């Protein structure tokens, strides 16, 4: 237990020593934009725009929406994005309106939860609101594309930059991959989860090698932890 605490302290200290530019993502610049009410990327504006069917969101919008979540007071790397017993309970009881209301509330508090987007789409489908369901599928795919454009996942230097561990598993599911094991690494690029994949579960594609492993940079989780320890 003492060794575990020491490792945690060292990792948090390492995260604190890094400037808040992680690989391809400049969190400091993003923070200025999403907290500036005069900016087109002011977070409440982005969330309102996302909820209006037909309003176009572009790459920069999704970039600030996803990575700007780090600067929200509601950001919790091990919290909301991992799932919701309330939403699951309502869906199980087929109370789709209540499940939808709760999922939308959760998503507005932390707009990086692929789990909540999936729940929103599912509830809209069950309620016969196909246009709204398709609208959130559109957001889901664009956010996935955004995160996977942050790197190629092949090494710690080109890792996908994610804000939660739950996002790692959502991306694996989206890619049709399964995790065999997981290890936390720390180097000059920050903290990374190395996910070794189950190659036997992957379908054979002619001319393409199976994916052995993927890397996800999770430095923001440790930066958030360091800020929490200071408060």
**Higher-scoring residue by pLDDT: 99, 230:** 99
| Residue-wise pLDDT tens digits, 168-222 | 999 999 999 999 999 999 999 989 999 999 988 888 888 888 899 999 999 998 8
**Higher-scoring residue by pLDDT: 155, 17:** 155
| Residue-wise pLDDT tens digits, 95-153 | 999 999 999 998 888 888 899 999 999 999 999 999 999 999 999 999 999 999 999 99
CA distances from 107 to 6, 46, 104 (A): 35, 13, 5
| Residue-wise pLDDT tens digits, 158-183 | 999 999 999 999 999 999 999 999 99
Instruction: Label residue 50 by pLDDT band (50, 70, 90).
Output: confident
Instruction: Label residue 228 by pLDDT band (50, 70, 90).
Output: low
Contacts of 74 (CB under 8 A, 6+ apart): 80, 109, 110
User: pTM score, two decimals?
Assistant: 0.86
d(CA 101, CA 94): 13
């Amino acid at each position: 237990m003492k060794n575990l605490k020491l490792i945690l302290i060292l990792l948090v200290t390492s995260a604190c020593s890094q400037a808040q530019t992680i690989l391809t993502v400049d969190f400091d610049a993003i923070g200025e934009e999403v907290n500036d009410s005069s900016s087109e990327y002011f977070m409440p504006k982005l969330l309102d725009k996302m909820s209006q069917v037909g309003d176009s969101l572009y790459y920069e919008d999704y970039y600030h929406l996803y990575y700007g979540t780090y600067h929200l007071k509601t950001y919790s790397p091990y919290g909301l994005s991992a799932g919701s017993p309330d939403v699951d309970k309502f869906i199980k009881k087929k109370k789709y309106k209540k499940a939808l209301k709760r999922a939308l509330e959760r998503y507005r508090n932390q707009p990086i939860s692929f789990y909540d987007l999936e729940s929103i789409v599912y509830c809209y489908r069950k309620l016969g609101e196909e246009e709204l369901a398709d609208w959130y599928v559109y957001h889901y795919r664009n956010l996935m594309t955004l995160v996977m454009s942050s790197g190629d996942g092949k090494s710690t230097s080109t890792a996908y930059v994610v804000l939660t561990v739950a996002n790692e598993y959502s991306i694996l599911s989206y890619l049709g991959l399964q995790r065999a094991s997981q290890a936390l690494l720390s180097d000059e690029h920050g903290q990374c989860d190395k996910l070794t994949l189950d190659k036997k579960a992957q379908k054979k594609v002619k001319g393409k090698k199976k994916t052995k492993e993927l890397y996800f940079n999770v430095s923001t989780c440790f930066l958030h932890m360091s800020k929490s320890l200071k408060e």
